[in-house]
Structure 1
């Protein structure tokens, strides 16, 4: 960690040089959970009085702004007196509506500035203060472990605290690190910070709800890690079953994954053939787009395996709408693609299909997850799979939502053409639906090649 880092400067400024007990090494998804807990408090206690609104200072590590977070900060900015966001110039944030608000200031970081390795959230309000400070481990820090490829496995030195003295000191450090980029902004932020600090007649805010939310979020992030472990164990159990049928290691692993995907479908009472249908629809779209044979094969397999990440999911994910899920379950649901890709990564031969599964939730406009890829950055197979998954899901009932017919499901997808989905893909899907409705073709219910294991009873 560089000496000029906010964490090191804060430590040097404290009387004893002792950071709070929360200081340690955190996984990225844990830090996301912590930040969301603090941000939720702003949203839940939004005041119309500017004097009571917090000052929010944000630094996004490596500057890669995920647009789903930008939407969240649109609401946060409306509840804050001022928001200052430090990120790389190519983050895309300047074009987002949040970046156009009068009380939102953008600081475009120099790529050579060590500030880009930090991920900080500092909140200074009249009745309370809170912060999350963190700095990603360097390549030397990772040492023999190597820098992980999976985003959720990245590690950060970090801390969180409500201590006003420490938060205000960190705020001053953050502001001074922004000064070389925009001195007038730094002066204004420092003045606002001092105004809030001087507010002695404000009753302290009860933060017990925030602490409770932090515990809940931390449990959710931990559940993701535990889920990966459980799923990995299940995979090895299934592979052991496959070993009794076939001595070829690669075939054994693939059979284990296919059995895992089949089990997920069997747990879904309303959509028990999702994987087969998604694979078939994706393959059809790929054929109409004249994808090379190798890409079609990978896409077909990714369709069969697209929801292996749900093998240990609670039953609610199959019976309720995403908006009705509890926080911990919703977190698991949102991260299902990454969980699936992590599992498939255990088999080197499946890496191309694992990449497709990982990026199935990326959106054409860059607002998806897990990496905020945009447009052509998203692998074509992943773009196809994401659209096929959504279309097939809409044709099946789930929770309080009835199944839609093909035209209505297509219309729902068309509403997101150019935002979630590539327009050309939506148009191709429209051609498939129209040909089906005219009786010139049948919407496929299973891919052209169905693995034998899929048709067998689970041992």
Structure 2
């Protein structure tokens, strides 16, 4: 991370010096997806919330301004109280209609200013705040064998967040970085920011659709990246595995597995949609972590199938807590991941999904089952599934145990951070729960994609539909 960047300055300004879990290295197309999702929200709420128009601060990399983005910002300006755009003079903004609008200010950056290497989008409205901050890796920061050969392979340090405190601080930093170019403009921007911050008790906007849009954009951008790198042998092998999996999604055996998983949920009267909710929340966390699309597919399917090992379990497994079970019932509960993996292992095409189910009860400190794997020896998908499955279980009643609130369930998981669960994933789950508590999204109940056979009556597979995708 460049020390002079807005991103680095934000990190230095935070009391604990810790950026949110969304901080990481992103491909360019992922950042385009994130920015477009946030910009679309401005456009789609323009008519419904005319008194909530945002202040928008934007910086574009030197030489990276595209005409279609200029046209897009012409519409965004119509829905904003003010937009400040920082770019080099030759970006073409001054001659474009966007740059001529009264509520658009241009900041002509000097080519030697490190700000020309940044790509930032900050949105501040009375009822929500959002941003993407990033800057490209320098040539020295790429490994010698990973220098980008195509535009979409470029990488950036970046983060995105809806945390108002972080967005407010970043806005202050960026305004001050623009001040040497136009002091009076920055005074006006700071005044607008203060006015927005002082708006009394605005009604929080529901950002569930924004998060959903981000998920959709990320999926699309990952597909584009797969296409760009199609010639790579390893990726070609992964795509082949995905195609084989897709061809079998309507096969009788997988359909039977999905039906079996549904029946397990139906037997659990206190938690009848466990598999759907676990798959959905695991999917959301996987998206926040920017997992590759193939890993997301496997994670979603593992979430739907993770309880299949309880298909023949005594009913007491679903009506009693583990410390109330007799030895026979406890054996089913203790070995559920092994039993599930044995069932799924009869379908070789599901080998990766089977491995996730098998190892989702491993612990970060190595004390879990069945193999005592430790830390990153456990796949990221299995670590996510294990955490989400425990969180979801705690939010539902079991026997004489009451259902925990999502805040209390999160706290129980946090108590096992570093022992049972990966601390970084606990922080990602914390981010989701905090967004739910703030009313900025709803806890997901269904994964973003669902096999067509789920929640349908079991039917004999039609060979003519063998290519149906998940």
For normalisation by structure 2, the TM-score amounts to: 0.48
